[in-house]
A = this chain, B = another copy of it.
Amino acid sequence: MSTKGRSAARLARGAVKRQQILDAAAKVLARRGYAATTLAEIAEEVGSAGAGSLYYHFDSREQLIEELLCRGVHVAFEESRRAVACLPASASPLERLEAAIRAHVRSVLVESDYARASGRSAPQVPSDMWGRINADFRRYGKFYDQLIATAMASGELDATVDRSALRMLVVGAINWAPEWYRRSGTSTPDEIANLLVRLMVRGVGPAERKK
């Protein structure tokens, strides 16, 4: 993306460390949550000697975390959107929604500490910070909502159910999944995603003989 040449590369070297800090912070936040995360633990995760070192790259704990959370939503959002965009044009609205859900589950369970950190920490962020970042979360929510609305319009989902409640139940189940999912568990992330999609569409009641 950069068109700035060598000087950009020189700047980028600084940016590398910045990245590493963000990566480390995402890891810590994903396992500790917003309130319990300390700069000391982040510093340890990056290999720095003390928390003071972080202040060369970031103005404050809040700013560091805010940037991290923003990236988290964008990662999950981008993954979902890409998964939808990769479908053939013939894909139905429901199939698009399903692809988004599967991608979201993958982001949160296997791919990204950022996505995991965002999902987990979103509810605990202080209100002033939330005021600055909730637009990003809403955008993602809106994206989901449109996928659902379209699937309803096509007749693939029951249009009489509360779209908002449906979305939040599904997204909630996804955001909660990192709390219990373990690699040693019985189901893989893909199997979990498949189960969640199935719950949304037809449930786990016994297969009824269709007309």
Contacts and interface: CB of A to CB of B under 8 A. Distances in A.
A138 to B, nearest CB: 12
Contacts of A157: 204-206
A179 interface: yes
Interface string A85-119: 00000000010000000000000000000000000
Interface stretch (A45-53, A64-72, A158-166): A158-166
A7 interface: no
Interface residues of A, number: 50
Nearest to A186: B162
27 contacts: A32-B124, A36-B124, A156-B205, A156-B206, A161-B198, A162-B186, A162-B191, A162-B195, A164-B186, A165-B185, A165-B191, A166-B195, A166-B204, A168-B176, A169-B192, A169-B196, A171-B176, A172-B176, A173-B173, A199-B200, A199-B203, A200-B203, A201-B204, A201-B205, A208-B210, A209-B210, A211-B211
Given A123-B179, A165-B187, 4 more contacts: A162-B186, A165-B191, A169-B177, A172-B175
Interface of A: 32-36, 94, 123-124, 155-158, 161-162, 164-166, 168-173, 175-177, 179-181, 185-187, 191-192, 195-196, 198-211
